[in-house]
Amino acid sequence: MSRRNQMKRNQPASMAGKMNDVTLPVRQAIGRGLEKWRQMSGKHKVGLVILLPIWLVLLMWQPAAKLEAVPVTGSLSLSLEPTVTRDIVIPDGGKRIDHTMAAGETLAALFREWKLPGSDLIALVRAEPSYKPLSQLRDGQELTLVLNNDGQLHYLEVTDKGLLLNAFRRMGQEFSVVTTP
């Protein structure tokens, strides 16, 4: 054996060589199958081409289970009225204002109408969350305002069909978002 062939034997096989070794049995089996296909008569080939897909479909097909028809019984009644009631504390000498928003109304216009300080509105805007519910009040939403004895806003909540959207409570000169009145 020459020195060159001896060196080739000692070197690790290349990736292509490894792939060739792994796929050789599969390629040989495909070759044998194609040779047998060529030896088959035409009638047998047609039969296999037609019956093989049908057989595969039947093998994979699973009939659905029979479901019994069950009659619907019972009833369900739900109240659409809000079940949660909130008691809002009104400070001594203060008052409560309940208002339902009409189309085109803004909180700024309502503050002017009720003669509330503009500084309270600015403090509310600073306290509102990033999704800005106060700047996007809609027709039908309800406002509940509580004023202290000095006429300053003490508490504000926004509800929609009984669902509390947001509530703000005075904390000194600023407002803070609260979850309960």
Mean pLDDT of the chain: 84
CB-based burial, 51-83: b 16+ in 10 Å, e otherwise: eeeeeeeeeeeeeeeeeeeeeeeeeeeeeeeee
Distance of CA 141 to the CA centre of its chain: 26
Run of H or E including 169:
strand 163-171
What per-residue confidence (pLDDT) applies to 163? 85
Model confidence over 1-56: pLDDT tens digits?
555 555 556 566 788 888 888 899 999 999 998 898 889 898 988 988 898 888 88
In the predicted model, is pLDDT for residue 102 greater than 80?
Answer: yes
Q: Which residue has the higher pLDDT, 74 or 1?
A: 74
Tokens describing residue 147: 């004023």
What per-residue confidence (pLDDT) applies to 11? 61
What per-residue confidence (pLDDT) applies to 177? 86
Distance (Å) of CA 177 to CA 119, 122, 128, 132, 165: 17, 14, 7, 12, 11
Model confidence over 120-156: pLDDT tens digits?
888 888 888 877 778 888 899 999 999 988 888 999 9
Distance (Å) of CA 128 to CA 58, 133, 160: 64, 7, 17
3-state class (DSSP) for residue 174: strand
In the predicted model, is pLDDT for residue 80 greater than 60?
Answer: yes
Q: Which residue has the higher pLDDT, 181 or 69?
A: 69
CA angle 19, 20, 24 (to 5 degrees): 120
What per-residue confidence (pLDDT) applies to 173? 86
